[in-house]
Chains A and B, each alone.
Chain A
Amino acid sequence: MSAPVVAVGGCPNAGKTSTFNQLTGARQKVGNWPGQTVEKYTGNFTVEGATFEAVDLPGTYGLVAISEEEAIAATFLAEERPDVVVTVVDSSNLTGSLHLVAQIAEAGLRQVVALNMVDVAERRGIEINESVLTDRLGVEVVRTVARSGRGIDELKAAVVRSLETEPQQLIIDYGAVVERHLGGLVERIIDQPEVASLQSPRWSALQLLAGDRGLRRRLDGVAGGAEIVAVADAFRADISKESTSDCEMELAEHRFNWIAGLVDEMTGAVVEKTTWSDRVDRVLTNRYFGIPIFMAVMWIMLRITADVSGPFLDWVDGTVSGPVARWSVGLLDLIGLGGGWLESMIVNGVLAGVGGVLVFVPVLATLYLCLGILEDSGYMARAAAVMDRAMRAVGIPGKAFLPMMVGFGCTVPAIYATRTLDSSRDRLLTGLITPFMSCGARLPVYVLLAAIFFTDAKGTIVFGMYLLGILVAVLIGLLLSRTALREEEPTPFVMVMPEFRLPNARTVGMLVWQRTMAFVKGAGTTILAASMAVWLLLAIPVGGGGTFTDTDAEQSAFGVVAKGFAPVMEPGGFGEWEQSGALLTGFIAKEVVVSTMSQLYNVAGEEEGEDDPGFIDDVRDIGSTFVEATVDTFKAIPGVFGLDFFDLEVDGDTALQAAVRDSFEESSGGRGALAAIAFMVFVLLYTPCMAAVGAFRHEFGTKWMWVSVIGQFVIAWAGAVIVFQGGKLLGIG
């Protein structure tokens, strides 16, 4: 017999995920919900020798779903019918939380209620008599504080006990008008055995009257289903006509009326007091200070991401391309396979690819740490509230600010962050414009070119690129929301503001770990494959000279492709094959653009590690450079709050600088600086990297992936050409 399934559900911010983490411990499995890209976390726990499988449901306020994530919870409960639902309730907000509890009880599911955050309720002087809930709903109620683990053992015991009981179905009186139609609909459902067998007919009728899309879709495939849906639609119209409110509102009104009575019995009259959280809110969401505060918070976050992760990024890079590469070569030599194409593939293909994945890890982990803290403290909800109006003005939903801000760090998690948006239209729109936000990997290209051509105005040029990215994102957003993605009904902004609190280390830590691993697994293979492909192209000799893996870049298949691509770029002022070659690898990852340049200009320079340090030295080096990276990180922290916008340090690679300068002067007919700007604009606007494309396809499908890739290329090309040709006409450069 398979283990009983325990679904952990609850409203967002009720402590659902903390409860799930406490139940299952750290051993969790990540999968995807069927047909969905939203991660599904499952884990096991054992009580008195019996094993249970726990499933973490996405947070939802009710079983009539609005956002994609909410629909998952509703569908899972309806179709999988778990053995027990643990509904996590925010004890300091009973009215809001009990809506879900009531609906689960109406659906006739077996339920255990976790009165979570009882400490907060206690602090506020709210006394809860939970036996009322047990009496009215026939459910076990356990008081918990999931963050500290209080009550978790009792919760597990209650889950075991609940399996012995028959689930009870809650019947709420919806008033004469609704009840008359409900009764009629239930009768028709009972006449259709296939429909009636799905779930409790009364619950089906309620869901249909509330306009639940999930059940309607499900009924499409059931005999007699279409008929029931048609009757339900007619009844909905009737109820709306006969009542003061729309049908959904009428149902909700009666349900909340019932809940209000329940809460009254549970707590008595509670005097609403403004809390310190409200006072903080007055400042953070203030009409005048709100946006500047948000900007400052984001700026500090991005600086922390860049400065803190930078030293570790170098450390990962140095370790993979240094000691690890040497060990691999040594190992191959040892088994007699050294020196050949295999060695080349492992060092230049596999290890370069693995390095390409791993260098992202410090950046992402730091970014996710900052975001996790902002989310768990409750600030993110405020930021959405503050930004909604400003962003709505240009047709972008307020919640899109989060993916767009994350996009400054890295486009890949930014694309995944679109999941928090309510509608698929909003998600797609945000996914399409997010890549224009200049990610961290594009920075080295700006820095290199700005240092060569604009020694006195490096910072301004780089800052200008970031602004241009925002401008293009806004313009494209405006254009899309007026044309292809015009919406009939703008998503209303209605959002619960969680109370401010100290972020919980465990919650934030789990978040960082899960999200970072999701990237390593999800995007890692794409990057690795792309890295192998470039290696292969560079290894194949075409122009006659050289053999496999031992050929000049210009004579390789890669060189041929780059030369074929170069004329396309000529109107932008950068039609040299080395330049287009660097841009080609930039499709794979922006961080390799600069390294490709040095490879193609053949200025790779001093080979490191010629003296070949021994294994012990290597290990010691890895350790000591890690310590150095940590020290550098802490040294960087004061700078985060300083005012130097970008501490633009350029590696002292003067050979590369000279080669790049010559090449740009050559390709642009003496207007090197102008061509450099056009090149930067192109780098800013075209496909960020393969991983982002992979993430985009994962989220929005192949068709939209091509729209995105081709659209970005056209915009980038047009932008570069406008800059170069326009500049030439104006006589700049």
Chain B
Amino acid sequence: MLPRRPTSDEAAAGNRLTLAEAERYSRVRVTRVTGRPRLIQRLAALGVVPGVMLTVLRPHGPAMVSMGGARIAIGKSAAQSVEIEVAE
């Protein structure tokens, strides 16, 4: 079975937006989280996983998102490994 990777269209379009590039106060959906094991584990434990909806309170310095009732601060390199799509 072949690994499911992002389609070449997506990659070519270069539209893989990350949390670090999101707009302030936008509603986004997490599409993919990549990175080193420790980062993956940390984000997974807090629920920053594909499919989840976030409100971006601030995209950088560090990023601050609202998820459910929680506010989560995410450092720059970590925010760059959270891929998102803008919802609504």
Chain B binds chain A: yes
Q: Which residues of A contact B (CB under 8 A)?
A: 61-62, 64, 66, 90, 92-96, 99, 121, 124, 126, 210-211, 241-246, 248-249, 251-253, 256-257, 259-260, 263, 270, 272, 274, 277-278, 281-282, 285, 287, 381, 385, 388-389, 392, 398, 422-423, 489-497, 499
Inside 8 A of B33's CB, which chain A residues have their CB? Answer: 245, 249
Instruction: Tell me which residues from 55 to 75 in chain B have a Cβ below 8 Å from any Cβ of chain A.
Output: 55, 57-58, 61-62, 64, 66-75
Write the B67-88 contact mask toward A (1 if CB under 8 angstroms, else 0): 1111111111110000000000
Contacts of A99 in B (CB 8 A): 45, 47
Nearest A-chain residue to B25, judged by Cβ: A274
Minimal Cβ-Cβ distance residue in B for A388: B75
A389 & B57 in contact (Cβ 8 Å cutoff): no
Distance to closest chain A CB from B47 (angstroms) = 5
The CA of A91 and the CA of B69, in the complex, are separated in Å by 9
| Contact of B15 with A by CB under 8 A | no
Whether A256 lies near B71 (C-beta < 8 A) is no
A-contact bits for B43-56, CB 8 A (1 contact / 0 none) = 11111111110010
Residues of B3-46 at the interface with A, using a CB-CB cut-off of 8 Å, are: 3-6, 32-46
Q: Which of B44, B67, B70, B72 makes the CB contact (< 8 A) with A249?
A: B44
What is the CA–CA distance of A249 and B72 in the complex, to the nearest angstrom? 18
Provide the residues of chain A in CB contact with B64, threshold 8 Å. Answer: 281, 285, 385, 497
Question: Chain A residues with Cβ under 8 A from B50's Cβ?
Answer: 244-245, 249, 253
Chain A residues, CB < 8 A from B39: 489, 492, 494
User: Please, how many angstroms separate the alpha-carbon atoms of A422 and B45 in the complex?
Assistant: 14
Interfacial chain A residues near B66, Cβ < 8 Å: 272, 274, 278
Q: Which residue of B35, B71, B76 contacts A389 across the interface (Cβ within 8 Å)? A: B76
Which residue in chain B gives the minimum CB-CB distance to A95?
B68
Q: Which residues of chain B are within 8 angstroms of A398 by Cβ–Cβ distance?
A: 75
Closest-by-CB residue of A relative to B48 is A494
- Distance to closest chain B CB from A277 (angstroms): 8
- Specify which chain A residues have a CB less than 8 angstroms from the CB of B75 in the assembled complex: 388-389, 392, 398, 492-494
| 8 Å CB contact of A95 from B43, B45, B67, B73 | B67
Q: Is the beta-carbon distance between A96 and B47 smaller than 8 angstroms?
A: yes
What are 11 A-B interface contacts by the 8 Å CB criterion? Answer: A93-B70, A96-B67, A96-B70, A249-B33, A272-B55, A389-B75, A492-B75, A493-B62, A494-B43, A494-B72, A494-B75
| Interfacial chain B residues near A66, Cβ < 8 Å | 38, 41-42, 45
Across-interface contacts of B61 in A (CB, < 8 A):
285, 287, 389
Q: A272 to B48: give the CA distance in the assembly, Å.
A: 17
Chain B at the A interface: SS class: mixed
Contact A252 B32 (CB under 8 A): no
Q: Decide yes or no: A495 and B73 within 8 Å by CB, A93-B68, A263-B68 being known contacts.
A: yes
- B42 partner residues in chain A, CB cutoff 8 A: 66, 492, 494
Residue of A nearest to B43 (CB): A494
Residue from the list B32, B45, B47, B62 in contact with A385, Cβ < 8 A:
B62
CB pair A94 B4 closer than 8 Å:
no
Which of B4, B48, B71 contacts A281, CB < 8 Å? Answer: B71
Interface residues on B, range: 35 or more
A281 to B66, CA, bound (A): 12
Within the assembled complex, what's the spacing in Å between the Cα atoms of A237 and B25? Answer: 37
Q: Tell whether, in the assembled complex, residue B46 and residue A61 are in contact, meaning their CB atoms are under 8 Å apart.
A: yes
CB distance from A89 to the nearest CB of B (A): 11
Whether B73 lies near A245 (C-beta < 8 A) is: no
Contact B70 A257 (CB under 8 A): no
The residues of A that contact B77 with a CB separation of less than 8 Å are: 490, 492
Most buried by B among A121, A210, A245: A245
Which residue on A lies nearest to B82, using beta carbons? A494
Given contacts A96-B70, A274-B66, A287-B61, 13 further A-B contacts (CB under 8 A): A66-B45, A93-B69, A241-B3, A242-B1, A249-B33, A249-B40, A260-B51, A272-B55, A278-B66, A282-B58, A493-B74, A493-B78, A496-B71
Give, as a whole number of angstroms, the nearest-CB distance from B2 to chain A: 9
Query: Which of A242, A256, A495 touches B3 (beta carbons < 8 Å)?
Result: A242
Indicate if the CB atoms of A90 and B40 lie closer than 8 Å. Answer: no
Given contacts A281-B57, A493-B62, contact A95 B49 (CB under 8 A): no
Contacts of B32 in A (CB 8 A): 244-245
Q: Which of A249, A252, A278, A489 contacts B38 (CB 8 A)?
A: A489
Q: How far is the CA of A233 from the CA of B52 in the complex (A)?
A: 27
Given contacts A245-B32, A492-B35, A492-B78, contact A64 B67 (CB under 8 A): no
User: Given the complex of chains A and B, what is the CA–CA distance between A256 and B48 in angstroms?
Assistant: 9
Partner among B4, B34, B68, B74 whose Cβ is within 8 Å of the Cβ of A494: B74
Residues from chain B with Cβ under 8 Å of A278 in the complex? 57, 66, 71
Q: Are A61 and B45 in contact (CB under 8 A)?
A: yes
Check if B46 sits within 8 Å of A96, measured CB to CB.
yes
In chain A, what residue has the closest Cβ to B55?
A272
Bound-complex Cα distance A282 to B74 (A): 15
CB–CB B51/A256 < 8 A: yes
- Expressed in whole angstroms, the Cα–Cα distance for A412 and B37 within the complex equals 33
The distance from the CB of A234 to the nearest CB of chain B, in whole angstroms, is 15
In the complex, what distance in Å separates the CA atom of A492 from the CA atom of B46?
Answer: 13
Complexed CA–CA distance, A124 and B6 (Å) = 39
Q: Contacts A96-B70, A256-B51, A385-B62; is A244 near B4 (CB within 8 Å)?
A: yes
Say yes or no: A489-B37 contact (C-beta < 8 A), given A92-B69, A95-B70, A272-B55: yes
Whether the Cβ atoms of A249 and B49 lie closer than 8 Å is yes
Chain A nearest CB from B83 CB (Å) reads 10
Q: Across the interface, which residues of A come within 8 angstroms of B67, CB to CB?
A: 95-96
Q: Give the chain A neighbours of B47 by CB distance below 8 A.
A: 95-96, 99, 252, 256, 259
- Known: A243-B4, A492-B78. Is A497-B46 also a contact (CB below 8 A)? no
- Determine if A497 and B44 form an interchain contact, defined as CB atoms under 8 angstroms apart: no
A contact residues around B70 at 8 Å (CB): 93, 95-96, 496-497
Check if A94 sits within 8 Å of B45, measured CB to CB: no
The reply to whether B41 and A211 contact each other, CB–CB distance below 8 Å, is yes
A499 to chain B, nearest CB (A): 7
Chain A residues in 8 Å Cβ range of B37 = 211, 246, 248, 489
CA gap between A322 and B18 in the complex, in Å: 67
Chain A residues with CB under 8 Å of B71's CB are 277-278, 281, 496-497, 499
What are the nearest 8 A-B pairs in CB distance?
Answer: A493-B75, A252-B44, A95-B68, A93-B69, A492-B39, A497-B71, A61-B45, A492-B78
Q: How far is the CB of B51 from chain A (nearest CB, A)?
A: 6
Task: From known contacts A253-B50, A492-B38, infer whether A242 and B44 are also in contact, taking CB-CB under 8 Å.
Answer: no
Nearest chain B CB to A280's CB is how many angstroms away? Answer: 11
Closest Cβ–Cβ distance, residue B3 to chain A (whole Å) = 4
Known: A256-B49, A256-B51. A489 touches B36 (CB 8 A): yes
- A494 and B46 contact, Cβ closer than 8 Å, known pairs A249-B33, A278-B57, A389-B76: yes
The CA-CA distance from A281 to B52 in the complex, in Å, is: 23
Alpha-carbon gap, A388 to B32, bound state (A): 25
For A274, what are the chain B residues with a Cβ–Cβ distance below 8 Å? 57, 66
Contact of A496 among B5, B40, B49, B72 (CB under 8 A): B72
